[in-house]
Amino acid sequence: MKSKELSVDFRDRIVSRHRSGEGYRKISAALKVPMSTVTSIIRKWKKFGTTRTLPRVGRPARLGNRGRRALVREVTRNLMVTLTELQHCSIKRGEPSRRTTISAAPHKSGLFGRVARRKPLLSKMFAKKNLKDSQIMRNKILWSDETKIELFGLNAKRHVWRKPGTAHHLANTIPTVKHGGGSIMLWGCFSVGGTGRLVRIEGKMNAAMYRDILDENMLQSALDLRLGRRFIFQQDNDSKHTAKITKEWLRNNSVNVLEWPSQSPDLNPIEDLWRDLKMAVHRRSPSNLMELERFCKEEWEKLPRNRSL
């Protein structure tokens, strides 16, 4: 419960004793008030030159500083605590329990309720190991992946400045055709030294075709990028990548493979290069699949080296 406010004369007596040289503890014992009260009154006098109650701006907060700090502690201790649980904690302390009052406390400390993002479960040990690998070995990693590029359809949102009611005007739309007008599948690789080879995948790729792509392009890319003999090859856990014949080829060629988590978000930095490639190619408006493939290879070689990682 809130204590009774001290009179102005009593507060002046505290300041007077302080000015005569008495210490906080002695004043507290002589006047039988808590030392924290003595400290607060003297601090206020030093700051504002008066012990009188200063005019407040607006309505006083229903929740005191102590209650607000308690709520913030609860939130920081358990980031998924609900507003109802915070209400119960506030009621137990005999403090205001309105939802708006309680939610305002963490808001003042920069904490806001948001929907938690879903993220694949990665062990702390793997995350720590992955960070260490990326810091020490990233200069030796050859990253790889496959992607699909459509002839008439960039798989990304585009924003356009337009007036109300003009959403379907030709200038404000992205032209599309059924099934994208055809597409090509590409395999590519890169390292901090730049982009490696980019290969078109003919038909549906299986493990044998993937092995041939590695045999004809991956080792040569590592050589061109000067990664040395002890480079590390990255690939995701696609069934073609983990097939028996693929593992056998990698083992026979003494290729070190970067361990990749079974539940993995798109951690592969090649995703940024795919996006840049698609944007650059579609700015050139290829008219057929042969042009699309040629533009892809030309733009792949133009990607800046510092964009890789």
Sequence-ordered alpha helix ranges (H) in the chain? 8-19, 24-31, 35-48, 65-77, 83-92, 99-108, 124-137, 207-213, 219-224, 244-252, 270-283, 289-302
For residues 173 and 164, what is the distance between their CA atoms, to the nearest angstrom?
14
Task: Give the type of residue at 92.
Answer: K
Mean pLDDT, range 166-171, rounded to an integer: 74
Residue in 228, 241, 216 with CA at minimum distance from that of residue 191:
228
- 262 Rama class: left (phi>0) / alpha (psi -120 to 50) / beta: alpha
Q: What is the pTM of this model?
A: 0.53
Mean pLDDT, range 221-232, rounded to an integer: 90
Signed CA dihedral, 148, 149, 152, 158: sign only: positive
The answer to whether residue 300 scores a pLDDT higher than 80 is: yes
Q: Packing angle between helix 99-108 and helix 83-92, nearest 10 degrees?
A: 100
- Position 108 scores a pLDDT of 84
Chain centre distance of CA 34: 47
- Position 94 scores a pLDDT of 85
Mean pLDDT, range 24-28, rounded to an integer: 93
Chain centre distance of CA 209: 36
Mean pLDDT, range 63-77, rounded to an integer: 84
The answer to whether residue 274 scores a pLDDT higher than 70 is: yes
The answer to whether residue 116 scores a pLDDT higher than 80 is: no
- Position 1 scores a pLDDT of 46
For residues 105 and 83, what is the distance between their CA atoms, to the nearest angstrom?
11
